[in-house]
A and B are shown apart, each in its own frame.
Chain A
Amino acid sequence: MTVTWAQRRKARLDDLSAGRSLTSEAFRRLRREPAAIAGAVIVGLFVVVAALAPLIAPHGAAETFPQLQENLRPGAIPGPQDGFPLGSDQLGRDFFSRVILAAQQTLLVGVLATLIGLVVGIVIGTVAGAFGGWVDTLLMRITDVLLAIPSLLLAISVAALAASPSQTTVIIAVAIVGVPIFARLLRGSMLAQRESDHVVAATSLGVKRSAVVLRHMLPNAIGPVIVQATLTLATSILDAAALSFLGLGDADPARAEWGLMLAQAQTYLDVRPALAFYPAAAIIVVALGFTLLGESLREAIDPKGRR
């Protein structure tokens, strides 16, 4: 008893004398982690490219060029040439510009879908974790069912329900996949918070229930959920690309989208494999970047790997 107290006190004093808080400690660990650096660099590059895509891309996504179209024939798509670093696509548009502009679509869809999933998941997880009882049981049964369905299958089912596929249906479908993951994770850490000393202490001061939940439990419980959001961004991007690939996405030819580009490139695989390679590589690298960053964030925040 006395020993444990002494030890805990000592550990705490060590932490304090080193003058770091939990967060700065986590960042210190992150900076030494090659995977974290690689992930951060990829994600950073992707975000910059996506945000500045209209400035970087020399041409529009729908713009066609006679000098490219001239050379388009069955069995031949013009390769890289002056002004068109990656050559033409199957319709005589600048392939390089389209790959770059698609980054913006991907970022938009991925971030929106993840954000919507995050917000809905936080609401459900908070309600379940804060109130417990039958509300919790009901909500968790529903999330269990959703979690039992493979994520891509779930996204496809939701997207297929929509009357006409569009960017919005893709975002909603992908968001729904994230909801049960966030809800479960948050509910778990909310339950842990409920028993924690500072929540009991706040309750002992007569703090209102809503304030106990929103001010004392939620901010302390949300860390793992935010980390999870980084990881979910990767799967959201993959799922959104897959939906477009399967023709469940935005069919507007004026928009460039990696998944759709990949689907259309299939016909020309033996003619010009680059048409498939670049979108595929982009999807994989970006998803990898978010996964690396998310995993190292999770480890940095909790080195023991609790999940």
Chain B
Amino acid sequence: MTALLEVRDLQVAFTRRREPDTVAVDGVSFDVAPGQVVGLVGESGCGKSVTSLAIMRLLPARGVRVSGSVRMDGTDLLTLSGSEMRARRGRDLSMVFQDPLSSLNPVIPIGLQVTEVLRRHRGMAGDKARQAAAELLERVGIPDPRRRLDSYPHQLSGGMRQRALIAIALACQPRLLIADEPTTALDVTIQAQILGLLSELVRETGAALIMITHDLGVVAGLCEAVNVLYGGRIVERAQRHRLFATPRHPYTHGLLRSIPRLDAPPGEELEAIRGSVVDNLPWAHACAFAPRCPRAIETCTEVTPVAETSGGRLLRCHNPVPANAE
């Protein structure tokens, strides 16, 4: 199957005068097939949001250097003109953000924020757009959608707001949706509902979904393929069930061991990954994870591990967890 989105060697660096560049995303490559749900997982600061913003071309023009390519239907989004990109955003690909309150315009009623996209990309207007907006709100499970069209964001609950944002993002039936931690700001009970809604909607509309999260639990219920990101690079990629069954990268292994499990024997302690992302080594002549890695060997602080692919999996590690461990 040909890919809908091909991200190749994406690199994003923040440049500041008289200071060395901060490389936030360092040679990330992955594919998304039409209708596929792909996870992008990693802890805070590993470059998940920057990756998604780079794909959407939403990073500020100044102080940021982006290289590599992001091909959608064969067209490199990074080389499109500003207006060509604006015509695609919201129509071909769109995004749901982390904080539903701050992502909605506080001074405009919800309905106008939905019809705005319909007008822009579908040429709808007036009652027709309003009708379509009400249907969209209804579809994402907002009760009494006609009345809600006139509500302001602060009059909705957090979960309702995120539903509204999803309705807006999917209003023009884009073929790719990027969801950047769409449930982090929500209560636990609401989180499950929103995730359920998202997976239902992408299945129904045939949209592909890039699910960005630091929570492997979210990935478990949703994604087909999972990319594990560490320090701006993909360190492991596999089909979800294989990743969960046999994590090969020590970081992935640690992530999985730190998820609470209901079937764990009582008394077994959760393992936390030592250290934090600030302990990172640069990737230049080492593995960035080495200071925190329980399996680190001498080579790890001398040679950069390269990404190796075998059997549909990608792995970037000198001393991976044996495949038959656990």
Contact with A along B149-165 (1 / 0, CB 8 A): 00010110110000001
Chain A nearest CB from B270 CB (Å) reads: 15
B102 touches A21 (CB 8 A): no
B44 touches A1 (CB 8 A): yes
Residue of B nearest to A219 (CB): B107
Q: Which residues of A are found within 8 Å of B91, using beta-carbon distances?
A: 206
A197 touches B154 (CB 8 A): no
Label chain A's interface by main secondary structure: helix
B88 touches A206 (CB 8 A): yes
Chain B nearest CB from A4 CB (Å) reads: 11
A202 to B116, CA, bound (A): 9
Q: Which residues of B are found within 8 Å of A203, using beta-carbon distances?
A: 58, 86, 89
Chain A nearest CB from B254 CB (Å) reads: 18
A19 to B88, CA, bound (A): 39
Label chain B's interface by main secondary structure: loop
Interface residues on B, range: 35 or more
B154 touches A204 (CB 8 A): no
Q: Contacts A196-B102, A198-B102, A219-B107: A204 and B56 contacting too (C-beta < 8 A)?
A: yes
Which of B18-26, B93-101, B124-132 contacts its partner? Answer: B93-101
Q: Which residues of B are found within 8 Å of A284, using beta-carbon distances?
A: none
| A12 interface residue per 8 A CB criterion | yes
A206 touches B102 (CB 8 A): no
Q: Contacts A5-B184, A205-B117: A197 and B103 contacting too (C-beta < 8 A)?
A: yes
Most chain A CB within a 10 A radius of its CB, from B56, B86, B121, B187 = B86
Chain B nearest CB from A9 CB (Å) reads: 6
A204 touches B152 (CB 8 A): no
A207 touches B90 (CB 8 A): yes
| A16 interface residue per 8 A CB criterion | yes
Which single member of B103, B117, B154 contacts A206 (CB below 8 Å)? B117
| B75 interface residue per 8 A CB criterion | no
A202 to B60, CA, bound (A): 14
Which of A98-106, A138-146, A208-216 contacts its partner? Answer: A208-216
| B290 interface residue per 8 A CB criterion | no
A8 to B107, CA, bound (A): 20
Residue of B nearest to A199 (CB): B105
Which single member of B88, B105, B106, B184 contacts A202 (CB below 8 Å)? B105
A197 to B103, CA, bound (A): 5
Contact with B along A212-231 (1 / 0, CB 8 A): 00011001100000000000
A21 touches B105 (CB 8 A): no
Residue of A nearest to B158 (CB): A9
A203 to B169, CA, bound (A): 11
| B185 interface residue per 8 A CB criterion | yes
Interface residues on chain A, number (Cβ under 8 Å):
29
| A200 interface residue per 8 A CB criterion | yes
| A201 interface residue per 8 A CB criterion | yes
A232 to B214, CA, bound (A): 50
B89 touches A206 (CB 8 A): yes
Contact with A along B211-234 (1 / 0, CB 8 A): 000000000000000000000000
| B87 interface residue per 8 A CB criterion | yes
A205 touches B103 (CB 8 A): no
Q: Contacts A16-B154, A201-B165, A215-B108: A206 and B101 contacting too (C-beta < 8 A)?
A: no
A197 touches B117 (CB 8 A): no
A202 to B56, CA, bound (A): 12
Chain A nearest CB from B131 CB (Å) reads: 20
| B120 interface residue per 8 A CB criterion | yes
A261 to B153, CA, bound (A): 53
Residue of B nearest to A223 (CB): B107
Chain A nearest CB from B68 CB (Å) reads: 20
A196 to B185, CA, bound (A): 17
A207 touches B116 (CB 8 A): yes
Q: Which residues of B are found within 8 Å of A220, using beta-carbon distances?
A: 105-107
Contact with A along B128-157 (1 / 0, CB 8 A): 000000000000000000000000101101
Chain B nearest CB from A132 CB (Å) reads: 8
A1 to B56, CA, bound (A): 25
| B104 interface residue per 8 A CB criterion | yes
A205 to B60, CA, bound (A): 16
14 A–B pairs (Cβ distance < 8 Å), ordered by A: A1-B44, A5-B185, A195-B60, A197-B97, A197-B102, A200-B58, A202-B116, A203-B58, A205-B90, A205-B168, A206-B86, A207-B116, A211-B120, A220-B107
Residues of B within 8 A of A (CB): 44, 56, 58, 60, 86-91, 94-95, 97, 99, 101-108, 116-117, 120-121, 152, 154-155, 157-158, 165, 168-169, 184-185, 187
Given contacts A206-B86, A206-B89, 5 further A-B contacts (CB under 8 A): A197-B97, A204-B58, A206-B91, A209-B86, A219-B107
